[in-house]
């Protein structure tokens, strides 16, 4: 019960923050190529939450982790933000990384399909898959980080929001314990893959 109540508290925080950021009328563009970052923590926090390309992939990491069970359920949501920070560092250093937008959309497609098809993988392989995709999510913003009013708090906000999205995925993913819930989670994976496809082919 401790676990459930702690999780419920996290989700409550997420919902409140999401409501606040939406209420503030923060308008975030999904494209990563135009303009720079002007804000700090709020700007970093709201970007992944209001950008569907990030939301679906980050929720998918939690979902797949919950599907794979312990210890993946906790390790994947730690691997993703860590490698994402590494990807941001690559962006700051100007190290060329190809097809960043396709990599972000592709992460939703691949992770969504893995969940839809209920594909299990050894932990090391799952960590590599999640880690490779995390590079793109971090890189997309590392390149523009130097223009941020406060790059450090922007990064903190971004990682914090990412963690909350992972937790949202884990919470939903816990439904796999029940047969009907398992179908729901797999359907969720299918929806995530569709959103990824839409981004990949420029429908959104």
Under rule CB under 5 A, how many of the chain's residues touch Zn ion?
A: 1
Interface map 3-42 toward Zn ion (x if CB under 5 A): ----------------------------------------
CB of 159 to Zn ion, least distance (A): 13
Choose between 51 and 169: whose C-beta lies nearer to Zn ion: 51
Task: Evaluate the omega torsion of the peptide bond into residue 71 and state whether it is cis, within 30 degrees of 0.
Answer: yes
Cα 131 to chain centroid, rounded: 11
Sign of CA dihedral 88, 35, 161, 43: positive
Are 172 and 89 in contact, with CB atoms under 8 Å apart? no
In sequence order, which residues have a C-beta less than 8 Å from that of residue 160 and are 6 or more positions away? Answer: 44, 45
CB of 53 to Zn ion, least distance (A): 6
CB of 83 to Zn ion, least distance (A): 16
CB of 30 to Zn ion, least distance (A): 7
> CA nearest 111: which of 160, 33, 51, 173?
173
CA distance 131 to 152: 22
Choose between 51 and 142: whose C-beta lies nearer to Zn ion: 51
Choose between 64 and 139: whose C-beta lies nearer to Zn ion: 139
Choose between 68 and 140: whose C-beta lies nearer to Zn ion: 140
Residues 38-57 that bind Zn ion (CB under 5 A): 51
Sign of CA dihedral 95, 101, 104, 107: negative
Interface map 117-136 toward Zn ion (x if CB under 5 A): --------------------
Residues 48-107 that bind Zn ion (CB under 5 A): 51
CB of 32 to Zn ion, least distance (A): 5
**Minimal CB distance to Zn ion: which residue?**
51
CB of 190 to Zn ion, least distance (A): 23
Choose between 51 and 112: whose C-beta lies nearer to Zn ion: 51
Q: What is the 3-state secondary structure (H, E, C) of 135-198?
A: HHHHHHHHCCHHHCCCHHHHHHHHHHHHHHHHHHHHHHHHHHHCHHHHHHHHHHHHHHHHHHHH
Binding residues for Zn ion (CB under 5 A) = 51
């Amino acid at each position: 019960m401790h676990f459930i109540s702690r999780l419920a508290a996290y989700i409550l925080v997420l919902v409140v923050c999401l409501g606040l950021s939406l209420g503030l009328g923060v308008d975030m563009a999904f494209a990563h190529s135009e303009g720079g970052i002007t804000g700090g923590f709020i700007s970093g926090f709201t970007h992944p939450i209001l950008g569907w390309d990030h939301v679906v992939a980050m929720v998918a990491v939690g979902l797949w982790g919950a599907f794979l069970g312990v210890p993946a359920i906790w390790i994947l949501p730690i691997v993703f933000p860590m490698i994402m920070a590494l990807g941001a560092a690559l962006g700051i250093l100007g190290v060329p990384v190809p097809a960043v937008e396709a990599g972000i959309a592709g992460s939703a497609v691949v992770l969504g399909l893995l969940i839809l098809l209920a594909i299990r993988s050894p932990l090391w392989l799952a960590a590599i898959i999640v880690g490779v995709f995390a590079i793109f999510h971090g890189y997309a913003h590392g390149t523009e980080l130097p223009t941020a009013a406060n790059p450090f708090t922007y990064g903190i906000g971004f990682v914090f929001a990412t963690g909350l999205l992972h937790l949202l995925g884990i919470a939903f993913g816990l439904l796999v314990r029940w047969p009907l819930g398992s179908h729901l989670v797999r359907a969720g994976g299918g929806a995530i893959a569709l959103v990824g496809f839409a981004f990949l082919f420029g429908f959104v």
